[in-house]
Amino acid sequence: MNMPLISIITVCRNSEDSIEATMMSVVSQRYHNIEYIIIDGLSTDNTFAIANGYQEKFKEKEIKFVCVSEKDKGIYDAMNKGIFKANGDWLIFMNSGDNFYDDLVLKNVFSQTFDNNEMVIYGDTLTKNAKTTIKPPKKIQKEFFFAETICHQSVFFKKEAFQIVGIFNLNYKIIADRIWLLKATILKVKFNYTPVIFSIWDEEGFSKENIPTYIKENDTLKRIYFSGFERFLFAWKFRICRVFTFFKHKT
């Protein structure tokens, strides 16, 4: 079976306490066609030195390794740089502090045969601190992104999908990946759900530290991509679902 080249992209800055665990989760993968790209935002600590210290380990595992350190305009600018550097058939963004769930993730996902039209493969996510499993719906529709998203750590993007949807929009500092997935849905890009845990996500990261920006961007998303009727309808459906979930957990 032909194994597609998988480009794993890690963006980081001043991540000396977390970068090593992320790199180890890449090194440990039992899959043998990997390209690993680290985009460092000109760290002032030992992040870049730690990353480069793994060159021999990557060479031993025959992992193609690229590591650059330069100034960027934020997380999504760094992720876009990773897209332009990637040679893989499929890309995944496993940022510093996030890890693959286990060493079989790539092998399990890409032992399947996918339709040539499938552009987004997504799965479940385990939160690092709360130890809860986030399970997105099996069928993705526009309505889902009104209040939710799929963790990008659990999404494999086909490289050519970025030619259809575009790269990440730098006008958004926190939810550009959610915007991308929403646009992909609107453009009828084909999604494929695989019901296994792909990643362990550190939910205490950048988004949680910037709640006011998140709220502002969330409001902008709803205003631009959803009509007034959709905003009214989906807001009520979301409230009803929350009440239902609350009483379900109380019983």
Could you give the domains of the chain? 6-225 (3.90.550.10)
pTM, 2 dp: 0.93
Exposed, middle or buried by CB within 10 Å (0-12, 13-18, 19+), for 233?
middle
d(CA 151, CA 164): 21
Torsion angle of the four alpha carbons 98, 100, 103, 105, in this order, in degrees rounded to the nearest 10:
-170
Q: H-helix or E-strand containing 23?
A: helix 19-27
pLDDT digits (tens, 9 = 90+) for 25-70: 999 999 999 999 999 999 999 999 999 999 999 999 999 999 999 9
pLDDT digits (tens, 9 = 90+) for 72-102: 999 999 999 999 999 999 999 999 999 999 9
Partners of 100 in the beta sheet?
199
pLDDT digits (tens, 9 = 90+) for 137-183: 999 999 999 999 999 999 999 999 999 999 999 999 999 999 999 99
Q: Under the phi-then-psi rule, with left for phi > 0, alpha for psi from -120 to 50, and beta for the rest, what region is 177?
A: alpha
